[in-house]
Structure 1
Amino acid sequence: MTHWTRRHFMIGSAAALLGKHAFAGSGSGNSIGIGSSDVIGADNPVVDAFVKAQPFYGVVMLGKRGKPTYVRAIGMANIEEQKPLRADTPFAIASISKWLTSVTVLRLVEMGKLDLDAPIKRYLPAHRADTGSKVTLRHLLSNASGIPNQFISMIKADRSLFTASMTTTQAMQQFCQGESIFPPGSKFDYALTNWIIVVGIVEAVTGQPFQQAMRNITLDPLKLSATRADQAYADDAATAVPYATINPPARKTDVRQPYMAAAGGYYSTADDLMKAAQAIFNQGFITPASLAQLTHIEVDSENYALGGRVKNLQIAGQTHRFGWETGRTTGYRSVLGHRLDGEDTVIILNNTDMSQKTMDEFAYSLLGASQLPAV
């Protein structure tokens, strides 16, 4: 395997500046479909250099002011059946789900149903009193609650818990009742338990299952029809199959319980993510006050805001602020980078277990950007 290095990126980026405009097709040179239409864009030598250096299968989309300017689908959605990826193929987006969940929570704040800084015991009276009286939604959405991730230790001890059918209340009782490991807001801990509790809170204040609340509050208003979290969608023949390796093909299994949906259970397409980013960051889907909350760095060491990161990138000598959403789960990797002024978007979806660092660096190169150390 050829490793993608910074030198590859610099060569690819230089080539992109010299590239001629041409048809942007799939890996075999055929046109790419978003729905029923073909996409034409500029030839992109950065992509060409990357796919020569890496065993990459996935979809790459670049956009300007919310409109795709370049799309390319590379490789197979299903290797065994020789089914090629399309630009509208759904992939697991993993932790990008947290960003969509945070938007839903902020919409509930706008409706007066939630308060980011109220103790979670207000919404979950059965939660243990000590953490319930100190931890807030803000702490949960920024992965800084201090509630320990008992899910990991319990699943290691008893694998049957992973496939056991549990309600959200049962999952909170099982995994989210540990004693605090640090004062809320003092550290970053990327714990699934934060998001199980968020699911419980959303269900408590809406009276609906979490996925239905997400659908009603965020996904349907944004017209994100290809963004879903149900297992049937994950298993659908149109959805990209996750692989550990391409040659020989070795599949991975991606199973998500309903109580895990907020943390990383959603599947989506490049087109839906492009649409969501522009609407949320630039078209007033949430209020200016909510947008300020969504993009405010809560954990400086991680550039982490609510449900995702905010990064400063340098492009052509200018500094630009980006919403930077990423996802990593079994066999899938994803990046959604969106300049907060709406000028540029990069989306990469992958079904071959690539390292997240490599995905991020690929995205920087596509933008002609370098990351600055602080926001």
Structure 2
Amino acid sequence: MIDRRGLFAAAGALCAAPGLSLAAPARLGADNPVVDAFVAEQKFQGVVMIGRKGRASYVRAFGMADIEAGKPAVRDTVYCVASISKWLTTIAVLRLVEQGKLSLDAPIITWLPEQRPDTGKTVTLAHLLSNTSGIPNGFMPALKADPELLKKNLSAAESVKAFAQGDPLFPPGTRFDYHPVNWFVVSAIVEAVTGKPFLALVKELTTDPLKMGHTRAGLGVDAEPGVAVSYYAGPPLARRANPRMDVMAASGGYFSTVDDLLVAAHIVFDTPFLSEASRKALTTILVPEQDYALGGRVRSLTIDGQVKLAGWETGRTAGYRSVLGHRLDTGDTVVILNNTDLSQKALDLFADKLFGAAPRP
């Protein structure tokens, strides 16, 4: 366990130690007082990137990726991006829609004929991707009853059968219920319609064409030297585990870097990578009280007295925290990756300031 206040002093001592050479974090762009103030106040550990239309103009890495091993965070450090995975999943689904293999508005029984009829005939892919299906979260009670469940690594189809068969909680589309079972069902549908494993489909349709060479699911931090370890906030900071089954990838299992996310946001939002209809679906708010569209949010930022829309993807799991904000008008992007369990609200407000947005009401 390490006190967060001693983190930067420890990193400095390591770098100054005779005979010990650590790669210095990549630095790009002039000093940013907003970043400097946030780092000092929050004892921020992670990477911050600012850019426009896929080109970075500012990058700084702070603190350590692995405190115990003495590995500093650098520009290419890989972090779990948690629910930003939902955005990556949604992009793959939209590309399958463009190919005519899926429909956002068809009932899920179309592809999963064994799904119970009351949800199978009323829930659509759009409901799943917007977390408004009404299918209950049968996974968390099962995990609480059997902590060893994560070691069983059930398939997507098995997970749907085990955890998505409860009585519906509400009519589809009438409420927001943010949980992973929606995404277990999405994974099963993708596999059923393509005959390919979910992870392979996302690689083929999302991460490879978006040039996300460092982005993948199911990384084991102890076996991957470039991956940041997650920590409880403390003080003192304490290393924590992040176990998960493959079926959890769609909702929160992907790992990535600031560069991969910056480029992906530009390609998805600013170019014809997706069809016009798909981009509209990705940026149309379906749950106003949550600013939620499909697989992520669309935030309204007040900048210079005018309201500007931004795709807003966030992620939190174990000690990992992430923000990917992208202005839809200018292509400006902010990416923040953290591994010390900072407040998600604090990171969102930090991103607001980096965009020059007025404080939220």
User: What TM-score does the superposition give when structure 2 sets the normalisation length?
Assistant: 0.91
CA 1:315–1:234 in 2, change beyond 3 Å: closer, same or farther?
A: farther
* Correspondence for 2:339: 351
* Correspondence for 1:105: 93
Of 167-176 and 324-333, the range deviating more from structure 2: 167-176
CA distance in 1, matches of 2:209, 2:146: 40
Unaligned runs of 5+ in 1: 3-25
* Correspondence for 1:172: 160
- Does 2:64 align with 1:89? no
CA distance in 1, matches of 2:221, 2:282: 28
CA 1:134–1:46 in 2, change beyond 3 Å: closer, same or farther?
A: same
Q: Look up the SS of the partner of 2:188 in the other structure.
A: helix
Q: Look up the SS of the partner of 1:231 in the other structure.
A: coil
* Correspondence for 1:127: 115
Deviation at 1:78, TM superposition (A): 0.5
CA distance in 2, matches of 1:371, 1:337: 16
Amino acid at match of 2:82: A
CA distance in 2, matches of 1:57, 1:227: 20
CA distance in 2, matches of 1:292, 1:235: 40
- Does 2:190 align with 1:202? yes
- Does 2:294 align with 1:306? yes
* Correspondence for 2:202: 214
- Does 2:151 align with 1:163? yes
* Mapping of residues 1-375 of structure 1, within 5 Å: 38-232=26-220, 235-245=223-233, 248-370=236-358
Deviation at 1:102, TM superposition (A): 0.6
Q: Look up the SS of the partner of 1:202 in the other structure.
A: helix
CA distance in 1, matches of 2:149, 2:234: 30
Q: Do 1:325 and 1:335's aligned partners in 2 also have CA atoms closer than 8 Å?
A: yes
Deviation at 1:51, TM superposition (A): 1.2
* Correspondence for 1:11: none
Deviation sequence 1:261-309 (CA, Å, 0-9, x none): 1000000000000000000000111011100000000111100000000
Q: Look up the SS of the partner of 1:370 in the other structure.
A: coil
CA distance in 2, matches of 1:234, 1:112: 41
Q: Do 2:312 and 2:326's aligned partners in 1 also have CA atoms closer than 8 Å?
A: yes
Sequence identity of aligned pairs in percent?
53
Deviation at 1:57, TM superposition (A): 0.6
Deviation at 1:92, TM superposition (A): 0.2
What's the Cα RMSD here? 2.0
CA 1:32–1:117 in 2, change beyond 3 Å: closer, same or farther?
A: farther
Q: Do 1:117 and 1:138's aligned partners in 2 also have CA atoms closer than 8 Å?
A: yes
* Correspondence for 1:16: none
Deviation at 1:109, TM superposition (A): 0.3
CA distance in 1, matches of 2:358, 2:113: 46
CA 1:351–1:259 in 2, change beyond 3 Å: closer, same or farther?
A: same
Of 65-74 and 265-274, the range deviating more from structure 2: 65-74
CA 1:343–1:216 in 2, change beyond 3 Å: closer, same or farther?
A: closer
CA distance in 2, matches of 1:234, 1:124: 37
Unaligned runs of 5+ in 2: 5-10, 17-21
Deviation at 1:248, TM superposition (A): 3.4
CA distance in 1, matches of 2:177, 2:235: 35
CA distance in 2, matches of 1:207, 1:338: 33
Q: Do 1:335 and 1:360's aligned partners in 2 also have CA atoms closer than 8 Å?
A: yes
* Correspondence for 2:8: none
Amino acid at match of 2:38: F
How many positions carry a matched residue from both structures? 346
CA distance in 1, matches of 2:23, 2:37: 20
CA distance in 2, matches of 1:196, 1:332: 21
Q: Look up the SS of the partner of 1:134 in the other structure.
A: coil
CA 1:320–1:235 in 2, change beyond 3 Å: closer, same or farther?
A: farther
CA distance in 1, matches of 2:282, 2:134: 21
User: What TM-score does the superposition give when structure 1 sets the normalisation length?
Assistant: 0.88
